[in-house]
């Protein structure tokens, strides 16, 4: 079993709460209130900015050219691709770039992103990749599951489902899991497992809190 699968198994309750959160289930069913989805879009844009910082930190924390290139690719994917896609998706929901830029980070956004950055600053590359993985790999799992439900063309959130469920993002998620496992083979030890499990479970809980904030704030 890969390190990611072991961490997910150890945090099974937290993982289910995250990947099957009411926000996700309502999004998949097309019943999510539009106001909740707009709140999510705004906060996810701000989240991506901090996520880019975390991948820049991963570049600094890397000890090999391979790891540096992997971090650089993840950073470029956010800055050069994903943020632009996010702006275009937000525009379809009546949110301008100015709306996104001038918004304040919600407490759930701050809690999650600063936890990730603090883990990266205080720990090593493995710990940083562990706390990044629930987002990157989890979105792939959620997207694939919702896409398998075959959302109709008129599904209000079909664009989001196809974005994360289709092959391009599935490749990103698979690559992130593979990078984590390859790194773990080099630097992980059995003594580190309890701390890695704790960090992974915390990041996963914060992901669920991020959904909840969009649903109820």
**pLDDT for the residue numbered 162:** 93
Per-residue pLDDT tens over the stretch 6-26:
999 999 999 999 999 999 999
Residues 28-61 have pLDDT tens digits of 999 999 999 999 999 999 999 999 999 999 999 9
DSSP for 122-156, please give it: HS-HHHHHHHHHHHHHHHHHHHHHHHTT---TT-T
Residue 191: predicted pLDDT: 92
The Cα–Cα gap between 7 and 134 comes to 10
Residue 103 CB-density burial (10 A; 0-12 exposed, 13-18 middle, 19+ buried): middle
Tell me the mean pLDDT in the region 198-216.
97
Phi, psi of 157 (to 5 degrees): -115, 20
**Is 185 one of the catalytic residues?**
no
Number of domains into which the chain is organized: 1
With a CB cutoff of 8 Å and minimum separation 6, the contacts of 195 are: 127
DSSP-derived secondary structure for 150-198: ---TT-TTHHHHHHHHSHHHHHHHHHHHHHHHHHHHHH--GGGHHHHHH
For residue 38, give the CATH number of its domain: 1.20.910.10
Average pLDDT score over residue span 85-112 = 95
- pLDDT reported for residue 40: 97
State the greatest distance between any 2 C-alpha atoms of the chain, in Å, as a whole number.
51
- Whether 207 is catalytic is yes
Does the structure show a pLDDT above 80 at 217? no
Q: What is the pLDDT of residue 117?
A: 97
Q: Which of 3, 46, 65, 1 is nearest to 195 (CA)?
A: 3
User: pLDDT digits over 185-205, tens only?
Assistant: 999 888 999 999 999 999 999
**What pLDDT is stored for residue 188 in this prediction?**
86
pLDDT score at 151: 86
What per-residue confidence (pLDDT) applies to 81?
Answer: 87
Centroid of chain to Cα 175: 14
For residues 6 and 181, is the Cβ–Cβ distance under 8 A?
A: no
Cα-Cα end-to-end distance for the chain: 38
Host domain of residue 12: 3-216
Q: Which is the catalytic residue, given 82, 135, 163, 179?
A: 135
Q: What is the pLDDT of residues 135-187, one digit of tens each?
A: 999 999 999 999 999 888 899 999 999 999 999 999 999 999 999 999 999 99
Judge contact between 134 and 18, C-beta under 8 A: yes
């Amino acid at each position: 079993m890969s390190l990611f699968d072991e961490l997910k198994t150890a945090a099974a309750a937290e993982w289910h709460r995250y990947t099957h959160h009411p926000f996700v289930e309502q999004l998949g069913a097309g019943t999510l209130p539009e106001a909740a989805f707009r709140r999510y879009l705004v906060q996810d844009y701000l989240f991506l900015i901090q996520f880019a910082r975390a991948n820049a930190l991963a570049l600094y924390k890397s000890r090999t050219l391979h790891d540096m290139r992997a971090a650089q690719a993840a950073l470029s994917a956010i800055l050069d691709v994903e943020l632009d896609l996010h702006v275009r998706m937000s525009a379809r929901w009546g949110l301008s770039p100015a709306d996104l830029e001038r918004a304040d980070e919600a407490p759930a956004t701050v809690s999650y992103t600063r936890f990730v950055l603090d883990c990266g600053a205080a720990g090593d590359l493995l710990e940083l990749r562990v706390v990044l993985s629930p987002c990157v790999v989890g979105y792939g799992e959620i997207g694939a599951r919702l896409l398998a439900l075959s959302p109709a063309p008129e599904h209000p959130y079909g664009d989001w489902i196809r974005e994360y469920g289709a092959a391009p993002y599935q490749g990103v998620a698979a690559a992130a899991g593979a990078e984590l496992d390859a790194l773990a083979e080099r630097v992980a030890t059995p003594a580190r497992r309890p701390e890695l499990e704790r960090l992974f479970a915390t990041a996963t809980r914060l992901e669920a809190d991020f959904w909840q904030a969009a649903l109820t704030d």
